[in-house]
Structure 1
Amino acid sequence: MSAVTGGGGNEVLPSPEGALNRGTLLMPAFWVLALLLVAGLARMAMFLRESITVYPVATVVAVVLFALYAVPFWVFVGGLDFMEREPRTLLATAFAWGALVATAVAIPGSGALHNVLAKLISPGFATTWGAAIVGPTVEETVKVLGVFAIVLVAAAQVNSPLDGVVYGAMVGLGFQVAEDVVFAVNAVAVEGQGDRISPVVVTFFLRGFLAGLWSHTLFGALAGFGVGYLVVRTDRRLPWRIGVAVLAFCGSWACHFLWNTPFLLDGPVEGALGVLLILVVKGIPPLLLIAYVVRRAHEREAEFYVALLAALHNPEIATDAELRALGSGTRRASARSHAHHRAGMRARVAVRRLQRAQAHLAVSLSQATGPGETASVTRFTREVRAHRSSLVRLGHPEALAPDTKGGTLRSAFTLTGAAGIIMMALWAAISALGGR
């Protein structure tokens, strides 16, 4: 891995050869990872075969529901890193680790640790606090190992803490989907009424819709940030980087612990209002924490790549206003909306393509150390100019985000409104599931 100083620290550059190459196949870590994935696949296949044999309809419905549930999360997580998208093969590997390896290890591991708690302290303590202690300890450990596995087989692809967030979140998403399928099928078995889908639907709303917004995907993202920081920030001393990684892991453990704790379960507020209170108190803090971490990591990475474009001093490639817009997801969206307002949908599409080409060019510039990278820079420079020409023809030559007064206040109102809509939807779902 090579590194350059950018934005106040060292940033590891992406591999020009992509995520996987011939050298990867010679790595022992690659074959260990492959073996673990195959073993996890065999374990999950065995579970699904047994479930389909007994509850064919319920099992298929559970798999389909949670597979569809994963799609918007996948799209959102995969798009977190606008400047340098992660290879799909590695995203799929991270997801597979969570769904296959982490699940296969966590189910028996959690049971064993739960029994240890019961013997060391008391069965009552294990019943009350077992989920809060055992779940985070086993599950967060095996999930963060998946991010380390990605680093071992494709280290050059983890070139910013934000990459660690993306891979950690994808591991968490895979675990969340597979675990929810297991819980849904078990709910059918516990009900004891045969091959019915109603327990699956209830599980989908409880564990997917109500709990999914602040569950394993968030926990994995936070722990993944620590791994990314450990690997990337080589300008910091190793003890400091290890400390940040440990703190991030402890944060994911604490968020998971808070979510699983019996706190508020027997609180003074009952019914739908009580459930909503639990979601707010236990779910909102982790959501705000990871949102802050992601924003800071995104800003740091954007500063690095935008600086490479700014060093060209070429307004045909990127104007000052476009550079300001490119470094922020909100301003990028504002630039597209502004183009749509002034010149229509074609201009909006052209702005998005220009922004994407500028991001590709910035990444290519960071890799420009040989003939292959020079060709890549030439290619994306040509694309930027082509999209610029399209904007000029549409009468909107610059992809800028207009400076508007009250932007912060407007954003606050937007977030408040979105939170209100989410809360109303949660209230409706809780009421539909039997709360009053």
Structure 2
Amino acid sequence: MNSPHTAQSFDMPPPAPDEPASPRWPLWAVYIAGVVLGATVLVAALGPAYGETPTLAAASVAAFGAFGLACTWLLNRIPYFVRVPPSTSGMALLWGGFAAIGFAMPANTAIGGHFAARGDPSAWLMFAPLTEEPVKALGIVVVLLLAANRARTALDGLVVGSFVGLGFEVVEDIVQSINNAINDHPPGQRDNLGSLAVDVVHEVLRRSWTGHIVITGITGFAIAHALTTRGRTGVQRWSVAAGLMLLAVSGHLLWNSHRFGVFYVLGQFGILALYLWLIRVGREQEARIYLPYLHYAAPSLVDPAEVVSMRSGRARRRARKASAHPARRARERHRAIADLAVAISGGNRDASDRAVEALRHAAG
């Protein structure tokens, strides 16, 4: 039951008209088939190798799995107002780790064999973006359309894309650590944890910060921008999306090959800077969508100056420094304001009541 004061603390906007439901089974068919078939290809390829390196394989799963958990925590902190549901991020991880890897692996193997026969075994890396990025992009589209919460900003796509890239990167690192042990050591000495230590340092510390997480996150932003942006023509939206996806593919190409000299290094920093800038743009989009709903809250509950302070992370930090309340209490209040805006936007009165109570608690 709502408390008497809560009913007068905010109003609810008129409900949005129901959108016609589209059949989802074709999307589920694509998703399930992709993950199952990709996993089958992966298991068939790695089965014999696992028999030679059981200890290294288990240790690589643990090491790169821990890296994946740390990245999951970081990625969940990118959106401020609405975080991607665990079911959605889990679907993205599975697509990246099984479907994208499983379908790209045979193509990469065939291309690698062709160039190895020509005496240039590393040349296949130039073609990896063309075998890997389309499958990851397909997964982003499918996951966004199947998501528990409909994507509302390009930031949703960036996070989903980053999770697809994370799944791809973790499984790819595990596969590479096993392959490196087999290729670099004679039979009987391949179950070598020293080899894994080198791979962890190389992949996590040197390559991960501009790897598949970042590249596929940019692709996800591009796709969600095309799907969610209003007030622009389809040509404008898809032109921006195509440009961003081209940059992501170019970043993947630079990331894979040292043939470009100084541009290899500059490209890494450039692609990371683009990713961070897109996060900032996406957070501003979030604020523009949700903050107007705070006009339904009473000024005595949320001061208009507080609404202004919610527009960006920098503005929130300035507001916390200027607040008479402890930083923790001010942070709790900002969290409650964001939750109230989201709850009102969805017409969820129970969640709005909880946010109001949290606001009153944070006010002391």
Normalising by structure 1, report the TM-score.
0.72
Change (3 A) 1:105 1:62: same
**One-letter code aligned to 2:92:** A
Identify unmatched segments of 5+ residues in structure 2. Answer: 1-14
Q: Displacement, 1:334?
A: 4.9
Distance in 1 of aligned mates of 2:24 and 2:304? 45
Change in CA separation of 1:156 and 1:390 when aligned onto 2, cut-off 3 Å: closer
Displacement of 1:42 in angstroms is: 3.0
Q: Work out whether residues 354 and 384 of structure 1, in 8 Å CA contact, stay in contact via their aligned partners in 2.
A: no
Separation (CA, whole Å) in 2 of partners of 1:95 and 1:15? 33
Higher relative contact order (CA 8 A, sep 6+): 2
- 8 A Cα contact 1:56 1:195, kept in partner: yes
Residue 214 of structure 1: aligned partner:
210
Contact 1:131-1:261 at 8 Å conserved across structures:
yes
Query: Which residue does the alignment assign to 1:388?
Result: 359
Identity %: 25
Q: String of CA shifts for 1:155-201, please: whole Å, max 9, x gaps.
A: 85221111111111110111000000000111111121331111111
Question: Which amino acid is the alignment partner of residue 281 of structure 1?
Answer: L
1:101-146 per-position Cα deviation (integer Å, ceiling 9, x unaligned): 0110111112334456x49xx935x5454312x1111111111111
Distance 1:243 1:180, change over 3 A: same
Residue type at the aligned position of 2:146 = V
Shift in alpha-carbon separation, 1:24–1:175, aligned structure 2, 3 A: farther
Give the Cα–Cα distance (whole angstroms) in 2 for the partners of residues 177 and 154 of structure 1.
22
What is residue 67 of structure 2 aligned with on the other side?
Answer: 69
Residue aligning to 1:233: 229
Cα distance 1:86–1:231, how it changes in 2: closer, same or farther (>3 A)? same
Alignment of 1:324 onto 2:308: yes
Equivalent residue, structure 1, for 2:93:
95
Equivalent position of 1:123 in the other structure: 118
Give TM-score, length-normalised by structure 2.
0.85
Whole-Å separation in 2 of the counterparts to 1:25 and 1:331:
42
1:255 shift after superposition = 0.6
Question: Cα offset for 1:16?
Answer: 10
358-367 or 96-105: which moved more?
358-367
1:167-316 pair list within 5 angstroms: 167-192=160-185, 193-263=189-259, 280-309=265-294, 311-312=295-296, 314-316=298-300
Contact 2:144 2:157 in 1 (8 A): no
Distance 1:16 1:364 in 2: 18
The answer on whether the counterparts of 1:316 and 1:385 sit within 8 Å (CA) in structure 2 is no
Secondary structure in 1 matching 2:258: coil
Give, in whole Å, the separation in 2 of the partners of 1:15 and 1:28: 25
CA distance in 2, matches of 1:16, 1:208: 45
- Quote the residue 1:165 is aligned against: 158
Deviations along 1:268-298, whole A, 9 cap, x unmatched? xxxxxxxxx7874232111111111121121
Distance 2:72 2:17 in 1: 23
Give the equivalent residue in structure 1 for 2:138: 145
1:363 aligned residue (313, 333, 342)? 342
Gaps (5+ residues) in structure 1?
1-12, 18-22, 266-276, 369-375, 394-436
Equivalent pair of 1:143/1:172 in contact (CA under 8 Å) = yes
Q: Deviations over 1:381-427 (max 9, x none)?
A: 3223322332333xxxxxxxxxxxxxxxxxxxxxxxxxxxxxxxxxx
**Pair 1:352-2:331 in alignment:** yes
**AA of the residue aligned to 2:137:** V
- Say if 1:55 and 1:129 are closer, same or farther in 2 by CA, change over 3 A: closer
Partners of 1:291 and 1:16 in 2: CA distance:
35
CA contact 1:27–1:153 (8 Å) conserved in 2: no
Q: RMSD of the TM alignment (CA)?
A: 2.9
SS of the residue corresponding to residue 158 of structure 1 reads coil
Question: How far has the Cα of 1:88 moved from its partner?
Answer: 0.7
Q: Check the 8 A contact 1:97/1:174 in 2, yes or no.
A: yes
1:211 is paired with a residue whose SS is helix
Residue 356 (structure 1) shift: 2.8
